[in-house]
């Protein structure tokens, strides 16, 4: 019995089970962003902050001149100013917001970071959204404010997307309604279980990996700290082919049980930004252990006062990326099987 099997690529071969079915949890690398490529594949946006922060997003030339963005062959840094005392009547603290030039749909994104911004008044985020918000959804992968210990993952959508409180995930459900018009756009958030997933705990441990998998049936987000013994080998090595079925229980799991993911989510841009105070960090400022001048009865004003007058507090308010890798689902396979059978029997 002789078999001739023609398969277009190694990826196609790895996408087969013994029964020649596509293994849906296998993905191949379609984009890798490292070092100087961040400045080629992202736009630095000098826009007004849509979250009303005490920030001034600068353009690419200003960011480079002020050393707010810089890169080596294998690292990329994006940060805020940490030397200037601000005029309360003037613009906010200089910072950056990066917007990917490409759009990304179903698949996997792995963010390898060495450091995230930390400190009172800060509000860093790595997230994705469609061109017109909240049409086609928003996915917050890395986000937190002030001296928050645990990372938070959140979906924001049009009406019609809800989550059950208890589902197969490590993190704690914070809210179940993803509709951005409800609860002041809180979304359906999940607080991570790992204290090394955000802020000083993340940074002191050398960072780690965040990964998000998008399909028509679910959105899952994982986290592994730098020294986590359970980190999958394909994530740790930055492999070009990954197997998400081996990644274990995610920190956040958003299934389609009560959310039409195919209707409410579309192709997304990746956003990396650092703002100060604003709608979340400002309103939550006095609920934290951050210093606040008692003359301010407003949490936001107390936050802005701190940001204005304590530039040295933001020396550690920076992103340090090793790499972003993007993976696509396996392609539709065209497989030709030629079978020649020669059977000889004898009695």
**Per-residue pLDDT at 18:** 42
135 bridge partner residues: none
pLDDT of residue 3: 35
Report the length, in residues, of the chain. Answer: 347
Determine which of 23-27, 133-137, 159-163, 255-259 has the lowest per-residue pLDDT on average: 23-27
User: Would you say residue 188 has pLDDT above 60?
Assistant: yes
The contacts of residue 54 (CB under 8 Å, 6+ apart) are 86, 92, 93, 121, 275, 276, 277, 278, 282, 303, 304, 307, 308
pLDDT (0 to 100) of residue 332: 52
Model pLDDT, residue 330:
78
Region of poorest pLDDT, from 61-65, 130-134, 196-200: 130-134
For position 171, what pLDDT does the model report?
A: 99
- Prior bond of 134 cis (ω within 30°): yes
pLDDT in the model for residue 175: 98
Residue 22 has a pLDDT of 43
pLDDT digits (tens, 9 = 90+) for 258-293: 999 999 999 999 999 999 999 999 999 999 999 999
* 54-68 mean pLDDT: 99
Instruction: Catalogue all structural domains in the chain, each as residue range(s) with its CATH number.
Output: 23-331 (2.60.120.200)
Could you give the CA distance from residue 41 to residue 324 in angstroms, rounded to a whole number? 11
Q: Tell me the per-residue pLDDT of 306-333, one tens digit each, with 9 for 90 and over.
A: 999 999 999 999 999 999 999 999 775 4
Annotated active-site residue 172? The verdict is no
Using an 8 Å Cβ cutoff, are 208 and 228 in contact?
yes
| pLDDT tens figures, 69-119 | 999 999 999 999 999 999 999 999 999 999 999 999 999 999 999 999 999
Looking at residues 194-209, what average pLDDT do you find? 98
Q: What is the pLDDT of residues 143-182, one digit of tens each?
A: 999 989 999 999 999 999 999 999 999 999 999 999 999 9
Do residues 108 and 119 lie in contact, with contact meaning Cβ atoms separated by under 8 Å?
A: no
Given a cut of 70, is residue 346 above it in pLDDT? no
Mean pLDDT of the chain: 91
Q: Which of 40, 45, 118, 143 is catalytic?
A: 143
Kindly state the average pLDDT of the residues 236-244.
98
Q: Is 251 a catalytic site residue? A: no
Above 90 in pLDDT, residue 8? Answer: no
Of 138, 213, 251, 304, which one is the catalytic site residue?
A: 138
Query: Residue 341 above 90 pLDDT?
Result: no
């Amino acid at each position: 019995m002789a078999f001739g099997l023609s398969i277009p690529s190694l990826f196609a071969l790895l996408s087969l089970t013994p029964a020649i079915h596509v293994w849906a949890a296998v993905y191949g690398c379609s984009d890798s962003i490292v070092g100087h490529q961040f400045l080629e594949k992202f736009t630095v946006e000098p826009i007004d902050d849509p979250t009303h922060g005490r920030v001034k997003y600068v353009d690419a030339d200003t960011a480079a001149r002020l050393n707010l963005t810089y890169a080596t062959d294998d690292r990329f840094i994006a940060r805020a100013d940490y030397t200037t005392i601000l005029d309360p009547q003037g613009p906010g603290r200089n910072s950056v917001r990066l917007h990917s030039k490409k759009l990304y749909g179903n698949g996997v994104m792995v963010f390898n970071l060495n450091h995230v911004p930390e400190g009172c008044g800060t509000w860093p985020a790595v997230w994705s959204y469609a061109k017109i918000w909240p049409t086609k959804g928003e996915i917050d992968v890395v986000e937190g404010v002030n001296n928050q210990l645990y990372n938070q993952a959140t979906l924001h959508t049009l009406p019609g997307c809800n989550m059950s409180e208890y589902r197969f995930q490590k993190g704690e459900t914070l809210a179940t309604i993803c509709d951005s018009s409800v609860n002041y756009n809180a979304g359906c958030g999940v607080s991570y279980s790992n204290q090394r997933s955000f802020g000083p705990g993340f940074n002191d441990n050398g960072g780690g990996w965040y990964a998000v998998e998008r399909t028509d049936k679910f959105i899952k987000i994982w986290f592994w700290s730098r020294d986590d013994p359970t980190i999958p080998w394909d994530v740790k090595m930055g492999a070009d082919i990954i197997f998400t079925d081996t990644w274990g229980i995610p920190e956040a799991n958003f299934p389609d049980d009560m959310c039409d993911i195919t209707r409410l989510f579309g192709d997304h841009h990746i956003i990396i930004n650092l703002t100060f105070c604003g709608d979340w960090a400002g309103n939550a400022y006095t609920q934290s252990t951050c210093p606040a001048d008692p003359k301010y009865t407003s949490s936001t004003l107390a936050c802005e006062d701190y940001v204005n007058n304590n530039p040295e507090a933001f020396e550690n308010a920076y992103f340090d990326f090793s790499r972003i890798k993007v993976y696509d689902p396996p392609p539709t396979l065209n497989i030709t099987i030629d079978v020649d059978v020669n059977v000889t029997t004898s009695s």
